Structure 1
Amino acid sequence: MVGSRTATAAVGVAASLLVTAVLWWYFDTVLVFLLVPFVPFLFRRLGADGPTVVQECPHCGFQATVASYDYCPRDGSRLEIRGDE
């Protein structure tokens, strides 16, 4: 059996090759291979929605910038919001 990560990677590679082949056929140039690596930059978010909140573990120094972390994954301590940000 193939693991789910391997299957996802295989589908991603196949889809990437398919998109590359379609773009190559549509634009009829090999330069598409130079443009395809820059496509992810078109879809990233420009700037953040607001200030980044940094939460830090008072014991081990673990830092999280995602609000879904309330506790340190290393020692289980409650994260504290840093005041210098």
Structure 2
Amino acid sequence: MVGSRTLTAVVGLLVSVLVTVALWWYFETLLVFLFLPFIPVLFRGFGGDSGPTIVQECPHCGFQATSEAYDYCPRDGSRLEEPERE
């Protein structure tokens, strides 16, 4: 079974290649292939929030929990603490 991240990566790659080939066909130059790696960057702002919110972290190893379900660090057993806000 293919994971959701793998499927998203494959779809993103296929869309990038299709857009690049379409631009190559339209502009009739191979220079558009230079833009292939940058197409995902153009759509980066449409993904919603920037990432998971860190709820707690381990003061010793730096483990960061994004859920309230953790009270202790799974790596060293230390009590998790609220992260320092900047």
Q: Deviations over 1:45-85 (max 9, x none)?
A: 4xx88xx7563125653124xxx422267268764212363
Q: Which residue in 1 is equivalent to 2:82? A: 81
Q: Which residue in 1 is equivalent to 2:42? A: 42
Q: Which residue in 2 is equivalent to 1:56? A: 57
Greater helix content: 2
TM-score computed with the length of structure 2 as normaliser: 0.51
1 CA distance for matches of 2:56 and 2:74?
14
1 CA distance for matches of 2:13 and 2:41?
19
Q: Which runs of 4+ in 1 moved over 6 A?
A: none
Q: Which residue in 2 is equivalent to 1:69? A: 67
* Residues 63, 11 of structure 1: alpha-carbon distance in 2 compared, 3 angstrom cutoff: closer
* Residues 13, 38 of structure 1: alpha-carbon distance in 2 compared, 3 angstrom cutoff: closer
2 CA distance for matches of 1:83 and 1:12?
35
* Residues 17, 41 of structure 1: alpha-carbon distance in 2 compared, 3 angstrom cutoff: closer
- The unaligned stretches of length 5 or more in structure 1 are none
1:17 equivalent to 2:17? Answer yes
* Residues 83, 69 of structure 1: alpha-carbon distance in 2 compared, 3 angstrom cutoff: same
* Residues 11, 63 of structure 1: alpha-carbon distance in 2 compared, 3 angstrom cutoff: closer
Q: Give RMSD over aligned pairs.
A: 3.8
Number of positions where the alignment pairs a residue of Structure 1 with one of Structure 2: 75
2 CA distance for matches of 1:10 and 1:39?
14
- The unaligned stretches of length 5 or more in structure 2 are none
How far the C-alpha of 1:24 sits from its partner, in A, is 0.8
